[in-house]
Amino acid sequence: MKRRNFLISGLAGAAGLAVLDRTALAGGINSDNEPIIYRTLGKTGLKVPVISFGVMRSDNSALVKAGYDAGITLFDTAHGYMNGRNEEMLGNFFSSLPRDSYILATKVKPAGIDSRTGLPSRDTTAADFLAKFDLSLQRLKMDYVDILYMHGVDSVEMVRHKEIVNTMLELKKSGRVRFIGISTHKNEPLVINTMAADGIWDVVLTSYNFKQTYLTEMNSALKVAGEAGIGVVAMKTMAGGWLDKEKTRAVNPQAALKWVLSNPDVHTTIPGITAFDQLTTDLEVMKDINLTVSEKDELLAGISSQGLYCNACSICKSDCRNNLPIPELMRAYMYAYGYGNLRMASELISETAVMSDPCAGCDTCVATCIKGFDLREKISDVSRLANVPLDLFA
């Protein structure tokens, strides 16, 4: 057998990014010496680059180091990410660095919030919230966090939940939290407007992207937030990552980020970063936020695509003469055409006991879809799987 001894090389990896220290990396990526664009995060007074780091699902501290070295200052995690291991990884990484060289934001979700209504319950208590926050600090190996968000809020009742809000204010007063905020990705305009009206909040972390169907309300709410001095951090900026329902055309990440940052009421963004190439791409936006004409065109093409997701409102079901389980069939369609998983689609159709082309007996379809799906065409299309034995998909 031919053996090859280890070849020792001082060469950088295939990517050719031989950058190890903070200055060198920033210089390597920002080789044209363009300055990083900073914005002030509302009344917090924190000056942050327009690109921050959504740590979310990265367990690679080398990636965080690369972002830190390149000039990113705000790192965003949450108590619940990776069941706490995300905070642990950041705690280990930051433990040897000057505390004023980075801004750490984490989120704690109060217990007992009904995910369907966004409303609190008797399990939504200060004690639970505090216990989670204490654990987060312990994992992060820090005496304080810069920003603490109440995580995943989508109702006025939670924005104004006295027990939790008072707890957050107490944490701020005690110095264990510098600034308090709310993260929201549902009913965002309502949440943001309520925050602005209440006057106690420093930062909002909100979904914001070019595909949102309620941009007029979003832009208005962000303006109100700005006027109230609330720092605005944008998330979900990639709008799910795809322009088309077939998932063949990915969102141009730079265009999507630039679009978000074209709104001066947004101060920074937290794209979820999991790869060095992605980091490099995002960092380029840190010094150039001007959308080109071609980038605008790409985004416009994305806005016109309809998507495959049925939100199961079930309005269509009451109209259907054959009482078909339309939401399930739409889900099967999504499995087949969105995920390319015919077996899942077939299994679901099998569970519904729908036969092939169940609409054949109707001259016209009176069922309507609020998303504008052509129900008859999709049902006719996907129900053909009812004739295909499951074994064929094994």
Partner 1 sequence: MVAVCSVALTGQQLFPDLKGYKVVSDYPVYTPDDLWDYINGAADAYLALGFIDLNISEYVKGREVIKAEIYRFDDDAEAFGIYSMERSPGYSFIPVGVQGYREEGILHFYKDRYYIKIMTHSKSRKAGGRMEELARLIDGRIEGSNKFPELLNLFPTQGRLANEETYLLESVLGHEYLRNAFRASYEVGEERFDIYLFRCNDGDEAAAMASKLAGDSFMPGDEVFKYAFEDGFNGVLHMARQDDRLIVVSGLGFDKTTLAESYITQMLGR
Angle between helices 126-140 and 85-94 (to 10 degrees): 40
| Residue 17 binds partner 1 (CB under 8 A) | yes
Q: Give the whole-angstrom CA distance, residue 249 versus residue 374.
A: 22
Structure tokens at 149: 């968000």
| Residue 81 binds partner 1 (CB under 8 A) | yes
Please enumerate in sequence order all residues whose Cβ is within 8 A of that of 118, keeping only pairs 6 or more positions apart, or say none.
153, 154, 155, 157, 158, 186, 187
CB of 196 to partner 1, least distance (A): 22
User: Which is closer to partner 1, CB of 210 or CB of 226?
Assistant: 210
User: Which of 66, 291, 299, 345 contacts partner 1 by CB under 8 A?
Assistant: 66
- Beta-bridge partners for 107: 149
| Residue 20 binds partner 1 (CB under 8 A) | yes
| Residue 38 binds partner 1 (CB under 8 A) | no
Stretch touching partner 1 by CB under 8 A, among 57-65, 208-216, 352-360, 362-370: 57-65
Tell me the per-residue interface mask from 142 to 171 with partner 1, x by CB under 8 A, - otherwise: ---------xx-------------------
Q: Give the whole-angstrom CA distance, residue 157 versus residue 145.
A: 25
- Cα Rg of the chain (Å, integer): 24
Q: Give the whole-angstrom CA distance, residue 353 versus residue 328.
A: 11
User: Which is closer to partner 1, CB of 20 or CB of 360?
Assistant: 20
Please enumerate in sequence order all residues whose Cβ is within 8 A of that of 321, keeping only pairs 6 or more positions apart, or say none.
362, 366
Please enumerate in sequence order all residues whose Cβ is within 8 A of that of 6, keeping only pairs 6 or more positions apart, or say none.
none
CB of 237 to partner 1, least distance (A): 13
Angle between helices 22-29 and 61-69 (to 10 degrees): 70
CB of 324 to partner 1, least distance (A): 18
Q: Which of residues 328-367 bind partner 1 (CB under 8 A)?
A: 331, 334, 339, 341, 344, 347, 351
User: Which is closer to partner 1, CB of 262 or CB of 339?
Assistant: 339
| Residue 6 binds partner 1 (CB under 8 A) | yes
What 8-state DSSP symbol labels residue 386?
A: G
Structure tokens at 97: 């660095």
Instruction: Please give the size of the binding site for partner 1, defined by CB under 8 A.
Output: 71
Please enumerate in sequence order all residues whose Cβ is within 8 A of that of 183, keeping only pairs 6 or more positions apart, or say none.
107, 149, 150, 151, 152, 153, 204, 205, 206, 235
User: Which is closer to partner 1, CB of 111 or CB of 386?
Assistant: 111
| Residue 56 binds partner 1 (CB under 8 A) | yes
User: Which is closer to partner 1, CB of 115 or CB of 248?
Assistant: 115
Q: Give the whole-angstrom CA distance, residue 332 versus residue 351.
A: 11
| Residue 198 binds partner 1 (CB under 8 A) | no
User: Which is closer to partner 1, CB of 63 or CB of 103?
Assistant: 63
> Strand 103-108 relative to strand 38-40: parallel, antiparallel, unpaired?
unpaired
Q: Which of residues 87-116 bind partner 1 (CB under 8 A)?
A: 107, 109, 111-112, 115-116
User: Which of 54, 91, 110, 120 contacts partner 1 by CB under 8 A?
Assistant: 54
| Residue 85 binds partner 1 (CB under 8 A) | yes
User: Which is closer to partner 1, CB of 83 or CB of 323?
Assistant: 83
Q: Give the whole-angstrom CA distance, residue 212 versus residue 216.
A: 9
Q: Which of residues 299-318 bind partner 1 (CB under 8 A)?
A: 308-309, 311-312
User: Which of 22, 37, 38, 80 contacts partner 1 by CB under 8 A?
Assistant: 80
Q: Which of residues 238-277 bind partner 1 (CB under 8 A)?
A: 240, 272, 274-277
Dihedral, 179, 180, 185, 186 alpha carbons, nearest 10: -150
Q: Which of residues 118-137 bind partner 1 (CB under 8 A)?
A: 123, 128
| Residue 14 binds partner 1 (CB under 8 A) | yes
| Residue 385 binds partner 1 (CB under 8 A) | no
